[in-house]
């Protein structure tokens, strides 16, 4: 049986302020949990309806009914784990770095973290207004890639001002990315879903780049930020 305090703690982790207060976050599903168990992330507790074959002091066997009481999913998986939030590593000013200017959708952030993992981008810099990477929906969307990407939250303007790397920004009126010469090292800034890159950050962009529209009617307003990130990262890696 789960105690009231255990249930209260886990349920509180839906909110960012309690994740920060307790320095804990929730992961659901056998595949995602297994990925984190193989990483540097430290397990706090594992609640499962079936034996997971790990250190018994961290594993708690519970009923399906109890799992439903603590799960954040409409249809709970067989396991839920609580992990400790690790310390953020220093950013290495080399290679390609992705920076996000107030990206708010958890699914978009989770997908961008997966894209960084796929394209070998080690560091993701997020403005303080960007959705928390330990949000349960972000964790689900990363499919384990959260373990391999160093995600930092900071004043984005201050970071860009202090960096010596060229800063590229995604804009509708930027230079055609397919005709642009892209360096191996630099910062790629992606903007908010509705408003794009903010004016203050725009002033710090070295070069504006764009993904051209090829449709005959040219009426599509814009690409989803995660889709655009995928295309731009592919072009940077293609050189």
Q: Judge whether 89 lies within some domain.
A: no
Domain extent at residue 18: 4-84
3-state secondary structure of 10: helix
Domain of residue 77, CATH code: 3.30.1330.30
Same-domain pairing of 108 and 209: yes
Whether the CB-CB separation of 189 and 225 falls below 8 Å is answered with no
Whole-model pTM: value is: 0.94
Same-domain pairing of 72 and 115: no
The edge-to-edge listing of strands for the beta sheet with 59-61 is 24-28, 79-84, 43-48, 59-61
Same-domain pairing of 109 and 66: no
Alpha helices in 60-208 (DSSP H): 64-70, 106-118, 136-142, 156-162, 199-202
Domain of residue 116, CATH code: 3.40.1280.10
Q: Judge whether 90 lies within some domain.
A: no
Cα separation of 78 and 173, whole Å? 48
Tell which residue, 229, 148, 151, has the closest CA to residue 193. 229
| Residue that finishes a domain, picked among 58, 84, 110 | 84
Same-domain pairing of 200 and 152: yes
| Residue that finishes a domain, picked among 84, 105, 137 | 84
Q: Judge whether 163 lies within some domain.
A: yes
Same-domain pairing of 129 and 193: yes
Same-domain pairing of 31 and 107: no
Strand-pair partners of 190:
100
Cα separation of 155 and 39, whole Å? 28
**Other CB atoms within 10 Å distance of the CB of residue 156:** 25
Q: Which residue has the tokens 């997908």?
A: 111
Burial environment of residue 80 by CB neighbours within 10 A (0 to 12, 13 to 18, 19 or more) = buried
Taking the chain (239 residues) in runs of 10, the rounded mean pLDDT of each run is 93 98 96 92 94 75 95 93 95 96 98 98 98 97 96 98 97 96 97 96 98 77 92 94
Same-domain pairing of 139 and 70: no
Write b or e for each residue in 45-61: b if 16 or more Cβ atoms lie within 10 A of its Cβ, otherwise e: bbbbbeebeeeeebbbe
Counted domains in the chain: 2
């Amino acid at each position: 049986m789960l105690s009231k305090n255990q249930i209260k703690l886990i349920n509180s982790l839906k909110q960012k302020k309690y994740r920060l207060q307790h320095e804990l976050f929730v992961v659901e599903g056998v595949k995602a949990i297994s990925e984190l168990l193989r990483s540097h992330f430290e397990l706090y507790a594992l609640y499962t309806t079936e034996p997971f074959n790990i250190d018994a002091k961290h594993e708690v066997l519970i009923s399906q009914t109890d799992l439903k009481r603590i799960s954040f999913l409409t249809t709970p998986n067989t396991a839920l784990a609580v992990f400790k939030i690790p310390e953020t590593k220093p950013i290495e000013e080399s290679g390609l770095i992705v920076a996000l200017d107030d990206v708010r959708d958890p699914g978009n952030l989770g997908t961008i973290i997966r894209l960084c993992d796929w394209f070998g981008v080690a560091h993701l810099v997020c403005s303080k207004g960007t959705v928390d990477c330990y949000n349960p929906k972000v964790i689900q969307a990363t499919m384990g890639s959260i373990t391999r990407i160093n995600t930092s939250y900071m004043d984005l303007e201050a970071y860009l001002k202090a960096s010596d790397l060229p800063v590229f920004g995604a804009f509708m009126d930027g230079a055609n990315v397919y005709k642009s010469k892209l360096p191996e090292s630099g910062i790629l800034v992606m903007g908010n879903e509705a408003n794009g890159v903010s004016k203050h950050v725009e002033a710090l962009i070295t070069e504006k780049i764009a993904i051209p529209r090829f449709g005959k009617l040219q009426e599509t307003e814009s690409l989803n930020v995660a889709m655009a990130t995928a295309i731009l990262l592919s072009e940077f890696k293609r050189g």
